[in-house]
């Protein structure tokens, strides 16, 4: 049985005070969710310390949305994996399409970030997914395969076991356009097969999340698919009730 995960990516939303309120709302709501569902929340850096305090002992894990590619030093404005880990954070989202698109993140940078994540005993949530033009040109499988080969294939098996994959078709993120459950399943099965070609049966345990306009009213159908092990949720993670309702969709 694979782990079930519902992760919330808050992006650059909420003030620290609002973020703590949101986290408290999720803590309160999770009493009504099956214990088999694991929640992760990824607030902005500025909220991490307080959100870790609010969620401590509740079973909710906290994730950062990014980390620096270097360990420490003269990198103004960057936040290192060691700093993040020292707060009690457990996960880091890496390779989100917004970072690839707006901040020019490449596989080269992401490989360095992976090194930092594992050196600090954090776990990556590695995001992959194709752009609309790539899907329309029938290249979506190639794009996703390349994103796996260039980064995930460089991991040691013990690191791979700690890695969560999030398939997020870029055309579905924040657009209100969700991939159909069948499109998600088709890609998730392809991702698992690709991972198996490198890591063998370990890939049977890999958690592969779907991300892209997932909401309470479409989560059930998405999560009903064999290779969809949960969701990485953007917009709908900003309301505790919606995030909890997604957790209840298993």
8 binding ligand PEP? (CB under 6 A): no
Q: In whole angstroms, how close is the CB of 32 to ligand PEP at the nearest point? A: 22
173 binding ligand PEP? (CB under 6 A): yes
Q: Active-site residue 188, yes or no?
A: no
| Among the listed residues 168, 227, 229, 242, the single contact to ligand PEP using CB under 6 A | 168
**Residue at token pair 């499988």:** 141
* SS3 of residue 54 by DSSP: helix
Rounded Cα gap, residues 11 and 226, in angstroms = 28
Tokens of 140: 């979506």
E strand segments, the chain: 4-9, 37-42, 61-64, 91-94, 123-128, 164-167, 208-211, 230-233
Q: Active-site residue 168, yes or no?
A: yes
44 binding ligand PEP? (CB under 6 A): no
Rounded Cα gap, residues 76 and 172, in angstroms = 33
213 binding ligand PEP? (CB under 6 A): yes
| Among the listed residues 4, 5, 6, 9, the single contact to ligand PEP using CB under 6 A | 9
Q: In whole angstroms, how close is the CB of 177 to ligand PEP at the nearest point? A: 9
Select from 26-34, 184-192, 201-209, 230-238 the region that touches ligand PEP (CB under 6 A).
230-238
219 binding ligand PEP? (CB under 6 A): no
Write down how long the chain is: 250
Q: If we measure between CA atoms, which residue out of 11, 9, 6, 10 comes closest to residue 39?
A: 6
Strand partners, 4: 37
Residue 29 or 235: the one with the smaller Cβ distance to ligand PEP is 235
Query: Active-site residues: which are they?
Result: 96, 168
């Amino acid at each position: 049985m694979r782990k079930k995960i519902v992760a919330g990516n808050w992006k650059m939303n909420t003030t620290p005070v609002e973020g703590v309120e949101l986290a408290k709302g999720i803590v309160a709501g999770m009493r009504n969710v099956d214990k088999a569902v694991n929640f992760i929340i990824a607030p902005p850096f500025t909220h991490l310390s307080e959100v870790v305090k609010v969620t401590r002992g509740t079973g909710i894990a906290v994730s950062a949305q990014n980390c620096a590619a270097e360990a420490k030093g003269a990198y103004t404005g960057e936040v290192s994996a060691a700093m993040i880990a020292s707060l009690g954070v457990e996960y880091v989202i890496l390779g989100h399409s917004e970072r690839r698109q707006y901040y020019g993140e490449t596989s080269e940078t992401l490989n360095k970030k992976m090194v930092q994540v594992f050196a600090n005993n954090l776990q990556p949530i590695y995001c992959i997914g194709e752009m609309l033009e790539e899907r329309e040109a029938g290249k979506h499988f190639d794009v996703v395969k390349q994103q796996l080969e260039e980064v995930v294939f460089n991991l040691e098996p013990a690191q791979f076991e700690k890695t969560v994959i999030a398939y997020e078709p870029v055309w579905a993120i924040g657009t209100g356009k969700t991939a159909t459950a069948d499109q998600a399943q088709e890609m998730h099965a392809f991702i698992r097969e690709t991972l198996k070609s490198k890591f063998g049966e370990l890939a049977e345990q890999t958690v592969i999340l779907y991300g892209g306009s997932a909401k309470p009213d479409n989560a059930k159908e998405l999560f009903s698919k064999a290779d969809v092990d949960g969701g990485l949720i953007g917009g709908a993670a900003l309301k505790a009730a919606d995030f909890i309702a997604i957790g209840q969709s298993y």
